[in-house]
Amino acid sequence: MTRSLLVVEDDGLIRMDLADTLTDLGFEVAEAGNADEALIALGKNGQFAALLTDIDMPGSMNGIALAHYVASSYSDCQIMVISGRYHPAQGSLPQGAQFLLKPISQKALLEALGVAGLKP
């Protein structure tokens, strides 16, 4: 299985921190600032093991819509939705997707990766 992850976050500092943490854990990380950039990355490399996406982002769709798109188009990709403002309503995330509350501790990130079957 690929160890490549796609991090989608419009806040550059949060995106960089997540990417650095994941890289330090041994994953290859691609970054996108919004769903539109994520769709381009997915088109170039549809073999991501996981998507970590913020909910509230500028662009053509938010993180929940992106999560549903990825779930329907890339069934092997694990999905983690993150937010510091919103708590998704029951049933609003794709089946099997995880929700992580910002700020994300390294412990919470490791637990989510483990649940997704992506041990560092």
Give CA–CA dist 77/5, Å, rounded. 9
The encoded tokens of residue 61 equal 């769709």
Residue range 16-35, pLDDT digits in tens: 999 999 999 999 999 999 99
Q: Euclidean distance between the first and final Cα of the chain, in Å? A: 12
pLDDT number for residue 98: 97
Query: pLDDT tens for residues 66-101?
Result: 999 999 999 999 999 999 988 898 899 999 999 999
